[in-house]
Amino acid sequence: MDLTIFKGIVTGLLLSIPFGPVGIYCMEKALLKSPKNGYVSALGMITVDVIYGITALLFISQVEDTIRKYELYLQILIGIFLIFVGWKKFKEQSNIKEFEEKVEKQSSNKKIPTCSKCSESVQTLIKDYFTTFFIALANISSVFTIVVIFTTLKVYVRNDYKVALMAAAGIFVGGATEWFITTYILSHFTKVLDEEKLIKISKLFGFLIFIFGIFITGSSLVKIL
């Protein structure tokens, strides 16, 4: 069970790697507004990871025997998936301004919870949290990504809901810790980091995922052959 929460933390760390538009958006929030705004925005995304993590575990528990039987072949598919995702993110031309306009448009169409008795700064934090929450919630493909990670790490619950909750708690701890460190570091580099550099950082993480995908695919093929 302790190993399960550790694997959950690893999953949370992987899911919270700041690449892609949402990750860049949260980092820019930390740079342009404050580390607190960036961190709270990231917490909205992490909350969705926890929800989708539980969903993924419920799915895996139903097909665990099949996964174990075809484990090596599934790892090849996982490696190919990571190669595709990593390369796509590396080559992607991110435009944070366009993404921000999209975020503002979508958040204006949703009823973001407010607190009339709270200060303006607290209301802003609430808006930041739920804005990224709804944006991340719309990305259903995250469930598949989590299934891929859990399958790679061999996280199985066998209908043990306590284990599922520990894995979910691990995801939150891993993601929250990573973004705390990320926003803390960003707070010390506000004068040297801009949108272009954030996009380069995002591309670097995409390239590393691409390399990791090649490694998983290659090692699985060697075992089969």
Q: How many separate domains does the chain show?
A: 1
Is the confidence at residue 172, as pLDDT, over 90? yes
Q: Residue 27: how many CA atoms within 13 Å on its side-chain side?
A: 28
Of the candidate ranges 123-127, 170-174, 181-185, the one whose mean pLDDT is the lowest: 123-127
pLDDT reported for residue 191: 66
CB 39 within 8 A of CB 181: no
Query: Average of pLDDT values for 182-211?
Result: 78
Query: Average of pLDDT values for 59-81?
Result: 76
Name the token pair of 184.
């803390």
pLDDT tens digits for range 106-163: 555 555 666 666 677 788 888 889 888 888 887 777 788 888 888 877 776 666 678 7
Which residue, 108, 172, 116, is CA-closest to 134?
Answer: 108
Where residue 34 falls among pLDDT bands split at 50, 70, 90?
confident
pLDDT tens digits for range 91-119: 766 555 555 555 565 555 555 666 666 67
pLDDT reported for residue 9: 92
Give residue 120's domain range. Answer: 2-224
